[in-house]
Chains A and B, each alone.
Chain A
Amino acid sequence: MASGCTGVIGDPFVSPEPSSPAAGPAALPARCEPREGAVHGPSPLRRLTRVEYTHAVQDLFGTAPDVGEFTPDEQVAGFRSNAQVAITLGQVERYLDAATSLAGDHTEPLMAELGCEPAEVECAQTLLDTLGRRVYRRPLGEGERAALLDLHSAELGRGGSGVAAVGEVVRALLASPHFLYHVEVGDAEGRLTPFELASRLSFLLWASPPDDELLDAAAAGELADPMGLSAQVDRLLADAERLARSVAEFHREWIGTVNIDGVALADQTRNATLYPDWTGSLGAAYEAEAGDFAVQLLVHENAPLSELFRASVTVTTPEAAAVYGATRSEAGTVELDARARRGVLMLGAFLANNAHGSTISRVLRGKVVRERVLCGDIPSPPNDVDVSAEDALSGTAARLDPSSICYDCHRLMDPIGQAFDGFDAIAASRDVDELGELVSGHGEVVDFPADPELEGSFSSPLELTEKLATSDAVQACLATQWMRFALHRREDANRDDECATATVAADFLAGGRTLRELLRHVALSPAFASFEQEDSE
């Protein structure tokens, strides 16, 4: 049976012809003067992601919740963001379960911390001023306070204890849509309110809700002042521990630890005969490493972003280190053989996540590089494409036949993906591929007008990644990806977002090119603090 990519254009039963691929940006970004009356993209109602919920609870109570039963997060603009799919009935109940459980576990310690008599209404009011403000990420309105205090008094009226009464308030706070959603209403000019901005800042930079200091700054109007805002951004960036939360999450999502079908690396399977070393814990180690590698490099060492493609020290488990043919130090770091493996594209997450049970996937590896590193866009194949056979190594020639309907997309992916043929489906090095052929690691980058230097052939994955490390266009793409992560939307759907993103990228390229500098530009971008207000009901 042929193993190429096949399809029937014009079949009335299937989707229309797929849209054309985009190879990447046409040019390097340049600073862009915001137009007067700029209107940035929308800010849809978003539910907290699992990671955000986890960190929020951790910051409130000091312990991480178990979110294993929560529905999986969706992806928007390439990153996790629950901005489109509506909540399920079951998830509503799971939130209530969690709120009940958390209130049960933490109300008494909270009362001890506050040092007041829980049956007294003043105590409940103090709780709303402290915990309530942190949960809602803003002070509560009078009506909101009254409703919550009613729960307190009602429980006392039923004969409940003071702790039970406060517990009802805690439960209601944690089940509230004001906790579970990012609610951004904005002011009359379409700017985020100070508390909305505080929340956005902390979720961007810490993947967590604002702390008391940031909320105080918002209350004092400091975030409306450029100096005050800048000072808070710098403070957040200086907190390495919480910055690491966001940086780790970004990099796990950016490079990908969940395959195209939504299966996390830890849950993926491999042919046990071919890959006896594969275990769920190895997959989990790769997931964690994708974040920890970047944190070590970009947060703790403050290295320039280009080092993502060059660094030969990673942070992972002994099991993963053994796959790399290396040894883990007592500090948890692993020195890779830099002559054979270096950078994020030669770590387990990228290599193993873009593979199948028995085989590697040139297509998926090339697709990730084209989309995530070069900022191109590859449309989905049409419904009737024979995807079963599409990804076989033996089908490369058929996919790259210019007369094939697959050619336009696959020429942008496969010749890049084949750089990594020397790494098998669990990320171990190899000399021979599934077809019994010696692997070469050579390939080609075609059609990348933003950086003609990057175009052309390469002879090894090391040569390719070095070219990526030195490319300004690649650096600019990373800036764009961070903007998508920050805005929860694509920049190219709105001309003012596009302008702001170009400026962020250009300013980043003009500086020291560290992640902290980039995040500073992102956080201070006008696109970050304002949005298009759509009509409400």
Chain B
Amino acid sequence: MSESRGRRAWLRTLGLGALGAPLLARAPFLGAVPSAEAQGAIRRIVFFTSGNESIERSWWLPPGVSEASGTSSPLEALHPIMSSLEPFRERLLVLGGAVSPGGGHPADKAILTGHRLGEDGGRKFNRGTSFDQFLADRLDVRALVFPGSGVSFRGTQSPATAWRAHEAFRAYFGEGGGGGGAEEAARARDASLLDGLAGQLGQLRGRIPAADLYKLEAHLDGIRDLERRLEQGVVSCDGIAPPDPDAEARGASFRETMDARAEVLTQALACNATRVAVFPMGGTFGFSGEPMEERGVTTGVHDTAHAYAVDSDNAPRVVAEREICERLVYEEYARLLARLDAVPEGSGTLLDHTLVVFVKWMGYAHSDDDLLWMVAGGQGATEVRTGRYLELATVVGAAAAARGGRRRDHRGPSSNGILAGLAGLMGERVESFGEDLYDGSPMDLS
């Protein structure tokens, strides 16, 4: 099957005018749209995610801060492993010690939903809508989710679509092509097809069990989304450039992949094509094709995390390799911040009007506790106060800490409160977020 042919043929009427300039990955984006709305209010949020955990607390706790629960300390320095983030230190809010609703690998399905996982015959699944999708619905935008982690859900057992860079560009900006009669005909053809498919799905409603309706609804959502794109066209924005469609072909390098995604993300945010995004740098098992052996990691990202938990007391090599992995994660976070900060917007930059949230879905040793969260950006607003460390956890008793031998000596509040707090910063105040079992009332991030 010829994929490129199919992609060109399908919805080819959605394009802009002449596109096709090569992507200049690190060039400042030229198409920023300064607007009064952009000034003085946080308008966007991006979740930067990566797999595994942030090692143990001693590897991320900023030097000199108080570990007294609820205490806010100035962020006068960062842990050396986070040196890449030093240029953004004053624009960072570091949150230490929250607890996730999930633990272990499947916790990616819980961290943004705020619900414990469901289980069916040993298969674990998400329950509820993830925060990014919840917020996107509130803001009436479509969240831009890139592949690499399974954190984003439209509802229970309904994963959100993850777009690769060129797919995302097409979804938000179209993919070019001419105009005229041929395009009109193609548009009419596609509209007829979608209309027919929607009709078929509608007719099935009365024939299948009510318990299965969510599957039809999800399919219909997809059809309606395409119909909307046909009817409304796509976002028009000067100066955008599509990514090289091969940048994410199989075998593309980590750098090419991440840069292409960052570029599409930057364009989508700057053009107001979306206000919510999920930007993973990889899942539990690696970083989108990065050959970690060349960086000195011999066992793979995931096994290194396990090996550290087992052997870190005895094997310096394991410690060194673990550090390499985590240092890379912070470097990528910093790289994204820098990319957004390079785009002028209003009197500041795109980063000033964007909250970039650092999320991992596991705590040390794949646990559910003592998570590291970070929030960067948002200086265009007054609500969020950065340049500080906020201790969330309480030190648990020695007996509990010693139980099982794991370095499990901090327990904090649910991460759901962070999400609820972020909703408020985005202007969508909620009383709580996530499952009632947890305290999901908004955490004060100001």
Which chain A residues in 54-103 approach chain B with CB under 8 Å? 63, 65-66, 68-69, 71, 74-78, 84-93, 96-98, 100-102
Is there contact, CB below 8 Å, between A357 and B303? yes
> Min CB distance, A21 to chain B, in Å?
11
Contact B209 A535 (CB under 8 A): yes
* B-side contacts of A76, CB under 8 Å: 120-121, 123
Residue in chain B with minimal CB distance to A404: B404
* Contact residues in B for A183 (Cβ distance below 8 Å): 204, 207-208
- Contact check, A96 vs B104: say whether CB atoms are below 8 A apart: no
**Is the CB of A471 closer than 8 A to any CB of chain B?**
no
Whether a CB of chain B sits under 8 angstroms from the CB of A386 is yes
Contacting A at CB under 8 A, from B154-208, are 154-155, 157-163, 167, 185, 188-189, 192-193, 196-197, 199-201, 204-208
Contact with A along B367-408 (1 / 0, CB 8 A): 111000000000000000000000000000000100111111
A536 CB, nearest partner CB in chain B, Å: 6
- Tell me if A168 and B3 are in contact (CB < 8 A): no
Sample 9 A-B pairs with CB under 8 A, ordered by A number. A13-B411, A45-B215, A84-B125, A96-B10, A98-B6, A154-B192, A172-B197, A387-B104, A490-B121
Q: Is the CB of A389 within 8 A of B216?
A: no
Point out residues on A near B: beta carbons under 8 Å: 1-4, 6-8, 13-15, 42, 44-45, 47, 63, 65-66, 68-69, 71, 74-78, 84-93, 96-98, 100-102, 104-105, 144, 147-148, 150-151, 154-155, 158-160, 168, 171-172, 175-178, 183, 185, 260-261, 263, 267, 269-273, 356-358, 377, 379-389, 391-392, 490, 533-537
The answer, yes or no, to whether B298 is at the interface (CB within 8 Å) is yes
Inter-subunit contact A89/B161 (CB<8 Å): yes
Q: Mark B230-265 against chain A: 1 for CB-CB distance below 8 A, else 0.
A: 000000000000000000001000000000000000
Name the residue on B nearest A143 (C-beta): B203
B18 in the interface (beta carbon within 8 A): no
Q: How far in angstroms is the closest Cβ of chain B from A196?
A: 12
Partner of B305, one of A4, A96, A270, A388: A388
Docked CA distance A86–B222 (Å): 11
Task: Give 19 new A-B contacts, CB below 8 A, not counting A44-B211, A185-B208.
Answer: A3-B310, A66-B1, A84-B120, A86-B154, A92-B221, A97-B3, A104-B9, A148-B196, A150-B192, A155-B189, A183-B207, A185-B207, A273-B298, A356-B306, A383-B368, A384-B103, A389-B406, A490-B121, A534-B211
CB proximity of B208 to chain A, nearest CB, Å:
5
Give the number of A-B contacts (CB < 8 Å).
267
B208 and A45 within 8 A (CB): yes
Chain A residues, Cβ within 8 Å of B99: 13
Chain A residues near B411 (CB-CB < 8 A)? 13
Top 9 nearest A-B pairs by Cβ distance?
A6-B404, A92-B222, A101-B6, A383-B103, A388-B309, A357-B303, A2-B405, A90-B161, A86-B218
* B interface residues, Cβ below 8 angstroms from A: 1-3, 5-7, 9-10, 99, 102-105, 107, 116-117, 119-125, 154-155, 157-163, 167, 185, 188-189, 192-193, 196-197, 199-201, 204-219, 221-223, 225-226, 250, 284-286, 293, 298-300, 302-313, 365-369, 400, 403-408, 411, 414
User: Which of B1, B116, B125, B368 gathers most chain A CB within 10 Å?
Assistant: B1
Residues from chain B with a CB closer than 8 A to the CB of A65 are: 1
Nearest A residue (CB) for B142: A89
Interchain nearest-CB distance for A428 vs B (Å):
18
Q: Which residues of A contact B121 (CB under 8 A)?
A: 76-78, 490
Partner of A44, one of B5, B6, B209, B405: B209
Contacts of B310 in A (CB 8 A): 1, 3, 388-389, 392
With both beta carbons as reference points, the residue of chain B lying nearest to A144 in the complex is identified as B200
B185 in complex: contacting residue of A92, A150, A159, A270, CB < 8 Å: A159
Contact A101 B199 (CB under 8 A): no
Q: A6-B404, A176-B200, A534-B211 are in contact. Are A269 and B300 (CB under 8 A)?
A: yes
